[in-house]
Structure 1
Amino acid sequence: MRLFLQFTLLCAQLLCLSTLPAPAFAQDWTTGTASFEDEPAFLPVTEAYDPVVTLSKGTLNINWQIADNYYLYKEKFSTRTLRAEQLTEHRADYGEAIIKDDPYFGETPVYYNFANASLPAFDNTVFLLKLTSQGCADAGLCYPPNDWFFRIDTGSGSIASVPEQTWAAAETSLELPAPAPGTGGQALWLMLVFALLGGVILNLMPCVFPVLGLKVLSFTQNNEGRAVTHGAIYSAGVVLSFLAVALVLIGLKSAGAAIGWGFQLQTPWFVALLSCVFFVLSLNLLGAFEINLLGNTPGQSLSQRRDYTGSFFTGVLATIVATPCTAPFMGTALGFAATQPASIALSVFAALGMGMALPVFLLTLFPGALKSLPRSGPWMEHFKQFLGFPLLATAIWLCWVIGRQTGANGMGVTLLAWLMLGLGIWLIGLKSTGARVLTVVSLALALALLSSAALRQPAERPTSERSDSVAYSAERLAELRANGQAVFVDVTADWCITCKVNEEVALHTKAVRNAFAEKSIVYMVADWTLYDEHITALLGDYQRNGIPLYLLYMPGEPRARVLPQILTENSILKVLDTVD
């Protein structure tokens, strides 16, 4: 397992290096001078600082998400509400800050990564909220104060971002605007953008790369039809697959089930089936067999065929292999979708699918980009065989997940299913009547193994790799908080690749372990590998529908501080420095 995580981490590091921003034209806001020197490219203020406003049990929660290497001044926060004929200034307590020797204000309290505050919410009324903040970047840029505006209806629980003109008009006329149709919470357009960005980032996941790589390379060959048509059909496969997942989620929730993104991977038999799919695909890429499925294109499986059917099923397969992953922006968008009517939830999932399909579709939309790809030749066969190894590594990882879910018996049954599948595939090549009969028997045995009782008996709850951790329970968390203890809750699962990479690069490093010990912070693990209604309820309380989720409960603060979904050792150490 550690080798697989190291492989995943290496892929992620190479991707990060490839996306580092180039030196850019920069403006010094303090002097008004500009230069083309190797100065950093600064984020727009709305990307550097993002306030997330939620309602919970009569409380208005304000959670500022602060980009890495940016900070907000404690003394520059301002919170105002406008209700009926009353404009009110509120003093929001964001908790203890760290003292920074700031080049503009000297030693002053600031917040890195996040800042959380809570206010009593007006009962059954509509009001406007104006949030003001000011911050700087460590690299030297200081932003002017900026305002964010929200319309809040405590009766329906809706929260919508509104333009400054809405506040100005209401302040003048003392009349509040009607709710935006269909928002049902935070601004729908913003959630759609988050979903689109999260879908694009899903393409960077290591188990998705081989599937997409083969399809993109096939565009350089003589396909049936134009490349742009293949791109559109591939996109349709992705979007329809995401909509199918959404419909299942909506249907189960309507029936009273409490589930979230990746719920299917909490079912051991489905994980075993998925591992078998990856195993068979890896054998195909490695050249162990060639089979004709539903067509007359020799040597291609459904997802590898060069016709329109192959393009569609590549989109379906890409969606399936992406389900263990959660990309940045996805958590907020999926959490929003989980609280909305079916039509809005479907639009968010469609945007997620469109984002995932977008890079491949854009490549097919511009023929010049396709021409830059190398032409087919012997190297392509070697490259195809190489891509079989990441798929085989993914199959091994999923087999390890089954072992964590069901114990050694479940893992053994899965490996026997691999054996039967491999035997059946080998027998197909013998092309005799007896071999055909044995092939059917082997495949039937593989299906029987996947439906055996060993994959329906959960093992004991998996233990964390950190010996200093405690298992999550709402009662234990409440007890620790009542005793004035700082608690860090890690909501994770063995099938969550993003969770495991975060643990490897940040949460389980020696420096972070030492920081937890020095600050006497309890490390609590909420393991969602198997379904747990209490952990699902915790996710819902913070408007999340998937993992990872990282919560830091500070003594005296009613709500946890929500950390980013992608962690680094430096970012987590900065957060822990704020704990006394």
Structure 2
Amino acid sequence: MLVALLSAFVGGIILNLMPCVFPIISLKALGLARQGGDPAKMRAEGVAFFAGSLLAMLALAGVLIALRAGGQAVGWGFQLQSPVVVALLVLVLLGAALNLMGLFEFGLGIQRMGQSADGHDGLLGAALTGALAVVVSTPCAGPFMAGAIGYALVQSPLVALAIFGALGAGVAAPFTLVSFSPALARRLPRPGAWMTTLKHALAFPMLAAAAWLAWVLSAQTGSAGLALILGCALLLAFVGWVYGIAQRRSMMGQPARMQQGLVVIGLAGIAALVATPGSALRAPQAPQVLQVAAATPGSGTAASSAPIRWSPEAVAKAQADGRPIFVDFSADWCLTCKVNEKAVLSTAAFKDAIARTGTTYMVADSTNYDPRIETAMAKLNRSGLPLYLVYSAQGGDPVILPQVLDTKTAVSALEAASGRKV
């Protein structure tokens, strides 16, 4: 239990380095600079951010535990298996970027949504930023997290919530510690014109995160979903522009009823498009993938290194044929998966090892929800991606490889599974 709690906490800290999370944390750092080094305000925002992160993590964990208790085979990052959720996140990040660029004023980015009227500077907004950081940080299970999450999902709900709470605390810990650091507060520059330039610059990482999620959506839904989100993005930009005009007219004491009406109509249009039933935000039918012939070790025939689609039946058939098997559990929304794919799985050394050892190479794609994949991972007490398995040609349980993969480890595992050197 203690190891799982510590692993979850450290894993949460590492999630802050994810490219989709870092821009959001940067916005909060800018918010601290705006406080002018006021220790009380900095601590208040740090506590609010911590609370938002923790509550969002517990809410996600509660939904995950409830779904699993109801018989649903879902795992970590399950919300990004929903194209509707991905589409909404694209629009949220795009709206925050347009705000940062000054197209309209809605506080200081999305984290200022809850600025209160009593002079407390954006405490609810800080909490909302912490919640957003948690939501977008869950596509992958980084180092230390896989075992902790797998352990949590086979324990009682209270134990599971405690471990997920430690994960949420890890996500919030760096920013919260910074907000409580008097030494850092003294080093922060005084508010000035430089903050406007920095605010505009921070819009571009937000746009990059939105573009990545739009790419994920296209992988989930095909061209129909991509066309829909691009249309929604264009409409959102128009709404932001009109809203900015209405704001400026109001500040000058001029009526802005027409602009306000256009804003309402535009937001209603976006909501209708995202909620539209039909095939636009549904996963397309997966194409049939043919089985690629693989040579058995020692046959002298090189097998193809091209992957085939994973299924329990395909695994059983390959085992019955006495072949080693490499299974890549991944998803398009998993950044660690994509790094490993580029750095290891697409290299000539790995492909050569696959072919020469006669290994059957399978991919279990969780970009869209597949209950069989979630069930297979649950049997191994694993919930987060990536997950790499190597089955020996002699049969038996698979060997689980590290989530941060390297070529030497992968090739050595294939050699051991086949019983021969490459």
TM-score for both structures, normalised by structure 1: 0.64
For the pair 1:235 / 2:60, whether they are aligned, the reply is: no
Q: Which amino acid aligns with 2:285?
A: E
Q: Return the offset for 1:503.
A: 0.8
Q: Is the 8 A contact 1:233 1:308 kept in 2?
A: yes
1:492 aligns to what?
A: 330
Q: Which amino acid aligns with 1:457?
A: R
SS of residue matched to 2:33? coil
SS of residue matched to 1:220? helix
Q: Measured at CA, do residues 381 and 519 of structure 1 come closer, stay the same or move farther in structure 2, by a change above 3 Å?
A: farther
Q: Return the offset for 1:382.
A: 2.5
SS of residue matched to 1:526? strand
Equivalent pairs counted in the alignment come to: 386
Distance in 2 between residues matched to 1:270 and 1:230, nearest whole Å: 27
1:534 aligns to what?
A: 372
Q: Return the offset for 1:485.
A: 0.5
Q: Measured at CA, do residues 462 and 435 of structure 1 come closer, stay the same or move farther in structure 2, by a change above 3 Å?
A: farther
- List runs of 5+ in structure 2 lacking aligned partners: 116-120, 247-255, 290-303
For the pair 1:361 / 2:185, whether they are aligned, the reply is: no
Q: Return the offset for 1:414.
A: 1.0
Q: Is the 8 A contact 2:364 2:373 kept in 1?
A: yes
Q: Which amino acid aligns with 2:14?
A: I
Q: Which of 352, 357, 360 matches 1:522?
A: 360
Q: Is the 8 A contact 1:405 1:462 kept in 2?
A: no
Deviations 1:149-207 (A, max 9, x none): xxxxxxxxxxxxxxxxxxxxxxxxxxxxxxxxxxxxxxx11111110111010011111
2:275 aligns to what?
A: 451
Q: Return the offset for 1:463.
A: 9.1
1:408 aligns to what?
A: 223
Distance in 2 between residues matched to 1:354 and 1:547, nearest whole Å: 21
For the pair 1:461 / 2:286, whether they are aligned, the reply is: yes
For the pair 1:436 / 2:251, whether they are aligned, the reply is: no
2:344 aligns to what?
A: 506
SS of residue matched to 1:454? coil
Q: Which amino acid aligns with 1:256?
A: G
For the pair 1:551 / 2:371, whether they are aligned, the reply is: no
The 5 A counterparts of 1:22-61 are none
Q: Which of 34, 42, 65 matches 1:221?
A: 34
The 5 A counterparts of 1:262-411 are 262-291=77-106, 298=107, 300-303=109-112, 306-411=121-226
Distance in 2 between residues matched to 1:276 and 1:300, nearest whole Å: 13
For the pair 1:564 / 2:402, whether they are aligned, the reply is: yes
Distance in 1 between residues matched to 2:49 and 2:111, nearest whole Å: 12
Distance in 1 between residues matched to 2:371 and 2:109, nearest whole Å: 42
Distance in 1 between residues matched to 2:282 and 2:21, nearest whole Å: 30
Q: Return the offset for 1:566.
A: 0.9
Q: Is the 8 A contact 1:205 1:325 kept in 2?
A: no
Distance in 1 between residues matched to 2:229 and 2:359, nearest whole Å: 39
Q: Return the offset for 1:373.
A: 3.6
Distance in 1 between residues matched to 2:132 and 2:287, nearest whole Å: 29
Say which structure is richer in strand. 1
Q: Is the 8 A contact 2:64 2:74 kept in 1?
A: yes
Percent of residue pairs identical: 40
For the pair 1:479 / 2:294, whether they are aligned, the reply is: no
Q: Return the offset for 1:523.
A: 1.2
- List runs of 5+ in structure 1 lacking aligned partners: 1-187, 292-297
Q: Is the 8 A contact 2:323 2:359 kept in 1?
A: yes
TM-score for both structures, normalised by structure 2: 0.86
Q: Return the offset for 1:227.
A: 1.7
SS of residue matched to 1:430? helix
Q: Relative contact order: is structure 1 or structure 2 higher (C-alpha 8 Å, sep ≥ 6)? A: 2
Q: Which amino acid aligns with 2:171?
A: M
1:201 aligns to what?
A: 14
Q: Is the 8 A contact 1:492 1:526 kept in 2?
A: yes
SS of residue matched to 1:489? strand
Distance in 2 between residues matched to 1:219 and 1:337, nearest whole Å: 34
Q: Return the offset for 1:456.
A: 4.2
User: Which consecutive aligned stretches of 4+ in structure 1 deviate over 6 angstroms post-superposition?
Assistant: none
Q: Return the offset for 1:565.
A: 0.8
Q: Which amino acid aligns with 1:446?
A: I
Deviations 1:384-412 (A, max 9, x none): 22222222122122112222212211111
Q: Which of 164, 171, 189 matches 2:2?
A: 189
Q: Which amino acid aligns with 1:538?
A: A
Distance in 1 between residues matched to 2:84 and 2:20, nearest whole Å: 20
SS of residue matched to 2:339? helix
Say which structure is richer in helix. 2
Distance in 2 between residues matched to 1:459 and 1:219, nearest whole Å: 44
